[in-house]
Amino acid sequence: MTSAAFASKHRPGGFLEHNLGHLLEGLEAVSRAEAISDTSGLLQRLSPRSKIISTLLLVAGVVASTSIPALWIALAGALVLALASRVQTQMLLRLTWGSVLVFTGAVMLPSLVMTPGPVIARIPVVGWQVTATGFHIFLLLLTRAEASATFLVLLVLTTLWPRLLAAMQALKVPAVVVALFSTTFRYLILLLETSVEMFQSRRSRMVGPLTPAAQRRLLAATAGTLLDKTAALSQEVHSAMQSRGFRGRVYLLKQETASWHEVMPILVSLAAAAGLVLAH
């Protein structure tokens, strides 16, 4: 059952249902991202190595750009790439644009009225003045954040996690960092699955709503149990690693050397980044 179906079928606002819905949503997001990474789209066909470098170049270009129209063009370009890579606009809207708008917007909102400059509007009731400079800065930073986040999300959504890790390693990211990312992702999923099972087993033995105090107790007990399980599992994983020769230093498979066809996306991204920086 999908988390949406689950939410519609069960009592809204129920504590367990609420948490369970979120956990299932997390697992679904992982599945959806893997499904997108595994389809044949434009970005999926590119090598992860060149995608990482290209993304970093584009993000650098976006961050350094002072031209709002150029940033809008970059954002439109990202949208075209998303569509060519079978990433749904709705997904981008939910994963990136909405949350960036909320968080960056909230942080930057005071700049609308606190930056000196010509007044272009007045907020009713409180009478605060919105300045043209403040609005420009607000829009510039918001567009930068949206465009950067979109490029990064596209990288993650169109690259299978193991291939992304392999590419990081090929780009000389230290093996211990790659191993840390790898195990973190692996055990996050495992803990998500464990949490879902714990909440489901609790739900199967409950009738009626929980009082706020009981909800707090349940949450604390769940967190404590998960912490215990995590500690036991980490001990077990360490033993399993030791048993196969791990002595504190990680050795990973070497990745293939770079080929020329990987350079083209990097050159295109470099040109785009330069255009963003030079645009006025």
Q: Hey, what are 134's tokens? A: 């403040």
180 binds another protein (CB under 8 A): no
Distance in Å, CB of 240 to another protein, minimum = 4
Widest pairwise Cα distance in the chain: 69
Give 115 or 255: the residue with its C-beta nearer to another protein.
Answer: 255
> Minimum distance between the CB of residue 241 and another protein, rounded to whole angstroms?
7
Distance CA 44, CA 205 (A): 45
Residues 276, 74 contacting (CB under 8 angstroms): yes
Helix (H, G, I), strand (E, B) or coil at 120: strand
Comparing CB distances to another protein, the nearer of 70 and 167 is: 167
Q: How far is residue 237's CA from residue 144's CA, in Å, rounded to a whole number?
A: 41
End-to-end CA separation in angstroms for the chain: 51
Rounded-to-10 torsion of CA 11, 213, 198, 201: -60
Please report whether residue 225 would count as binding another protein according to CB under 8 A. Answer: no
Residue count, binding to another protein (CB under 8 A) = 30
Closer by beta carbon to another protein, 94 or else 236? 236
Among the residue ranges 73-81, 115-123, 198-206, 238-246, the one whose residues contact another protein (CB under 8 A) = 238-246
Residue located via tokens 């606190």? 114
Helix (H) or strand (E) holding 131: strand 129-131
Among 118, 205, 253, 260, the residue binding another protein under the rule CB under 8 A is 253
When asked if residue 239 is in the footprint of another protein (CB under 8 A), the reply is yes
Does residue 173 bind another protein (CB under 8 A)? no
- In 3-state terms, what secondary structure has residue 265? helix
Span interacting with another protein, options 82-90, 145-153, 245-253, 272-280, rule CB under 8 A: 245-253
Residue whose CB is less far from another protein, 119 or 190: 190
Per CB under 8 A, does 39 bind another protein? no
- Does 183 bind another protein (CB under 8 A)? Our answer is yes
SS3 assignment, position 57: helix
Question: Residue numbers of the site for another protein (CB under 8 A)?
Answer: 30, 34, 161-162, 165, 182-183, 185-187, 189-190, 193, 233, 236-237, 239-247, 250-254
